[in-house]
Every structure is written in C-alpha cells, then in structure tokens.
Structure 1
C-alpha cells in the first residue's frame, strides 16, 4: 500500500490526458510563512527578516509531497515601501516545481495603530515531470515525453492589514493560469497535462494578553482553488514569557496538528509542527513534519516585541 499515492497519480494520468487544478503547497505554520502567499507582508516586521521552512508530508508514503521555502524581506529607505524575495520548491510524485518571486509592498498608516499594505508579486515557476518515477503497468503516449524545465510567468497581488495585535490579509499569488503540454500535444490545445489554477488566500489572527507572561492567539487560514475543496485551517497558539510558543491546529476534514516554537534570542526563532491525518490516508503514512527557522537583523532603536505573525 505504500505505492498507493503513485498509483493514484498513474491512474489519473492513464485515464485522461488532462490533470486539473494542482493545489499549491500547504503549511501548518502558515502564520510564520505569510510572505510566500501574500506579497503585502514584505517589510511589515520592520526588520531584515530571513525565514526558511521545510515540510515532509505523509511520511512513509511513496511520492508524498516535500516542500521547502525560503524568503527574505525588509523595509527600505523609500518611505512605506517593502521589498522581498521568495523561493518555493515543491515535489510530489513524478513532478518537481520551483517558484522564484520578487515581492513588493506599499504601506499606508490608516490610524494610530493600524497599517494597510498593498503588495505585488512577480517572477516565474518552472516544472519538471519525470514519468520514469511512476510505477506504470500499461503506459501510453502520455508517458513517453517528460516535461523538462517548462517556465511560466507569475503575477500575483495581495493586501495585508495589521496592528500590534491583529492582522488580516487577502491574496492571489498568481493570476495567470498555466497549462503544460507534452511534446506530442502542442497542436491540440485541449490535451494539456497539468493546469495551474488561481488560488485565493484569506488569513487572520488576533493576540489576546491573558496575563503579563501569557499571550493567546487564534488564527485562521482559508484557501480556495477552482476544482478542489475549500481548505480551512484554524489554530490556537499560546506564547509564554515571550520565549516559548505551544499550539494546536485543525485542517478541516483533513488533519490535527501540534506546534511548538522557541524564541532563542531577539533575532532567532525555531519552530516545529506535526500533523496527524484524520482521513483514511492515516492508515498509509506516519504523519507530516514541518520545521521552521527565522532570523532577523533588527533596527538598533527597535524595542523587541515577539509577534506570532
């Protein structure tokens, strides 16, 4: 049964020449990985901020997703402008997809405490599909030509409103729907193999100060893509003494998660998350693991105040 995932992919590919709506990667620690899906986040932390995340999903299942992200963002001397760079590498079954984007934000002060940022994301994604990785019992024309280094343009946008305690954002990382062809189907526009659909993200959270040493933050992430079910993640995190974060999350009809974070210093944070499936898929894997690291170069005059976002 370990090959059930690859067999499912092979079954889909063998039954039709069209595979629709490949989902973007998912993240349990999404509150720390916002820039990857929303360019308006760039510069919002008022520091030169580096962040990395690695996710191994459905451990023990052949062909299961593996995702690595890296991002860096900073405010710049031009007033109210933030710049960033984001990198995502996503592997699933026979496919490898790489995204490289430049993120730009412009922020306006809406009140004494609130800021509203508008963001643009532009770059490219490259996809490779190697059908030799599939366990195919009855191959056909679709399996004879791999997809090698196909590059497509990306253009996305987002908005992000935040205060010291509250945040909310809406974004579309890529407005352009890309279609990838095999070499024998270029004369048939209906015979594409992979179609990247628009993804719509909504994120929000609020920090409650339960005591001088304990803060509580519920958060929510919603993701919608045509041709796939609505994905909703809800989480609850507690911050103790501005050093230790403990939390839990639920991905609707999919998984339960546990999270822990350590603020090692004013500049360095480490995080870890574990997901346990709540579907039948739990019988065939050993859960999902996610590791997160953030390092920031703070402004000398900045008073350090840990944030969940």
Structure 2
C-alpha cells in the first residue's frame, strides 16, 4: 500500500514539471541530509540529538559564485506526557563580499498514528540580508574573454522569516509538505547597482513564499543492501523545481547514488566512520544560470548523539561498611 502511494505521488508531481529559472533558495544536491531546513516538522524525528553541516560551492568557474552553508540541529523531548521536537537552523549564503544569514528556531508536535508519527512543525527566524538572492544574473566581461561574473542587487534589512510544515514518518516511508517564507519578508534593493552607473534607484522586493513536498521510501532488497528513492518538489509563484534521487546504502556504512532535476543532475557518495557520516556530491547544471559554470561541489557531515549523552553519569562507590 505504501509503495503504491509513493509511486502515485511521484507521477503526480513529475506531471507538474516546469522550467527552472533563477530563484531565492538554490537547492543542495544532497537535500535529504538537511531536510529539516526545508520543513520544520522533521525536527526531532529520530530518537537522538542530530547535528548536520553542509557546505556547497556552486557554479565553479564563475566569479562571485554563490557559496552556501547549512547547519541543522534537532532533538526529541517529552513534556507533560507528550512527545515534541526542537531544532535550530543556521544558514549563510555569500556572493562575492555580500552575505545573507538566517538564524531560526524550530518546534514540532509529534503524535503517534498507526505505525508511524505525525509531525506538525513551526519555524521562526531572523534574516540578515545584504543582497537579493532572486536577482542573480551573469554579467559577461568583455575584457576577460568567456569569463562570467555573478551580479546581484544589494540591500540592507533584518526581516523576520516564518515557516511551517507537516509530515508523517514510518518505519520505511516518510512524506512531508511545508511552506517556507510564509510572511514573504519585504525589503528594498538598489536595482542592479553592481553594474549600473545610477545607484540611487531602489526597488521593492520580497522573499517569495515557497511550497515544498518531500517523500522517500526505504526498500530492503537483501541484507545488508537498501535502496532509498526520494523525491522533492519546490514551487513558488512562477518557478518549480523537481528533483528525483536514487540512493543505495550498504551495511549502514557505505552509500552512493544519483539525482536528476530539471536543473541538471548530481552524483554522490558517502561513508560512516566511527559514527560520523560524511558525504560528497558533484552537480552538473543543464539549465539556468549554472549551465555556464563548471558544476557544483558539496560536502556534508552528520553526527548523532544518544539522548543520554549529556546526562551526568552515575559514579560507582563502595559502602564503608564493606571495607
């Protein structure tokens, strides 16, 4: 039943495929590693304290190419006999000397339903904006032949950013929907000031509200090999991204696979070394601004702490009566 449901959802979402253009959130190829960034309801989904860091060096070969850093941490906890989750998100994106940063807190309510859990999550954070990420464009430098330079419209603003999501996780299947940038934070930019002579003109802009759907299934072929297909759809008012991933995992220690999207494709591999999970991905872009680049590189690191890791350990002692 779950397999049929997953296949139907994938076909339905692939039908909605549209051409990808420049967008505010440039998606990482290993999106499943930081899925809590796109849906706060995944906070506390496992029975451990989880911390993940992902670094993406996008569009190599282009001057001022964007670089992104994601840090997500989350943990489950109980309060008044109910299960909950809490998380923290840190995000940085740089273009040249300009930087956008987000610091956000997450909360999720967990309720057991059937053989899994229903999660309802909220996120509230503060953006520190210094450029309009939706204004990215390639400027062809005639002096430096065939070398493009990424340009953006700068701004100065610290708006509040809100997100919400809902998901269901079971033993082998998960699915979730979310809305990020719910309040569509608004700001003013200096229109094309990095390449224009007139820098006094300003334009009103906003971070577009985005809708995300993510689902995955864990197929046990034979021990210890598993196949984990995943699909992610991100859409806003005029852009849609569809990404399908096939990931294989061997003995919970080695992994690898490939992803396809309407922006290009990516290949990745990973390993678990002494409880630390490492991953690398290379992405090639066939459309959008990235097609003029030499591809993108990603690295991520994850570590899961047991829930009792930070609890004080009981010290053994002997009774003086036995001495």
Same-fold call, TM cutoff 0.5: yes
**Structure number with bigger Rg:** 2
Distance 2:222 2:109 in 1: 34
Q: Is residue 76–residue 82 contact of structure 1 (8 Å, CA) maintained in 2?
A: yes
Q: Which has the higher strand share?
A: 2
Length-normalised TM-score, structure 2: 0.75
Q: Cα 1:49–1:58, aligned 2, differ >3 Å: closer, same or farther?
A: same
- Map 1:55-134 → 2, pairs under 5 A: 55-78=56-79, 79-92=82-95, 95-111=98-114, 113-129=115-131
1:293 aligns with 2:301: yes
Q: Is residue 161–residue 184 contact of structure 2 (8 Å, CA) maintained in 1?
A: no
* Aligned-residue offset at 1:270: 0.5
- State the secondary structure of the residue aligned to 1:33: helix
- State the secondary structure of the residue aligned to 1:181: strand
Question: 1:267-295: per-residue Cα shift (whole Å, max 9, x none)?
Answer: 31011111012238676322100111101
Q: Is residue 43–residue 83 contact of structure 1 (8 Å, CA) maintained in 2?
A: yes
Q: Is residue 98–residue 125 contact of structure 1 (8 Å, CA) maintained in 2?
A: yes
* Aligned-residue offset at 1:174: 1.9
1:195 aligns with 2:197: no
Distance 1:129 1:26 in 2: 18
Residue 272 of structure 1: aligned partner: 280
Distance 1:299 1:94 in 2: 40
- Map 1:228-307 → 2, pairs under 5 A: 228=239, 230-252=240-262, 254-265=263-274, 267-279=275-287, 284-299=292-307
* Aligned-residue offset at 1:77: 3.1
- Map 1:41-56 → 2, pairs under 5 A: 41-56=42-57
Q: Is residue 23–residue 225 contact of structure 1 (8 Å, CA) maintained in 2?
A: no
- State the secondary structure of the residue aligned to 2:41: helix
Gaps of 5+ in 2: 1-20, 133-137, 142-150, 192-200, 310-323
Match among 160, 166, 169 for residue 162 of structure 1: 169
Q: Is residue 258–residue 266 contact of structure 2 (8 Å, CA) maintained in 1?
A: yes
RMSD: 2.8
Q: Is residue 21–residue 197 contact of structure 1 (8 Å, CA) maintained in 2?
A: no
Distance 1:22 1:276 in 2: 17
Question: 1:37-73: per-residue Cα shift (whole Å, max 9, x none)?
Answer: 1110110011111110000111111122211011110
Q: Is residue 25–residue 90 contact of structure 1 (8 Å, CA) maintained in 2?
A: no
Q: Is residue 51–residue 70 contact of structure 1 (8 Å, CA) maintained in 2?
A: yes
Q: Is residue 21–residue 196 contact of structure 1 (8 Å, CA) maintained in 2?
A: no
- Map 1:163-242 → 2, pairs under 5 A: 163-182=170-189, 192-228=203-239, 230-242=240-252
* Aligned-residue offset at 1:81: 0.7
Q: Cα 1:183–1:299, aligned 2, differ >3 Å: closer, same or farther?
A: closer
* Aligned-residue offset at 1:183: 8.1
Gaps of 5+ in 1: 1-19, 138-142, 185-189, 302-309
Q: Is residue 190–residue 202 contact of structure 2 (8 Å, CA) maintained in 1?
A: no
Q: Is residue 261–residue 271 contact of structure 1 (8 Å, CA) maintained in 2?
A: yes
* Aligned-residue offset at 1:157: 0.4
Question: 1:234-286: per-residue Cα shift (whole Å, max 9, x none)?
Answer: 0001111111001100012x211101111113x31011111012238676322
Length-normalised TM-score, structure 1: 0.78
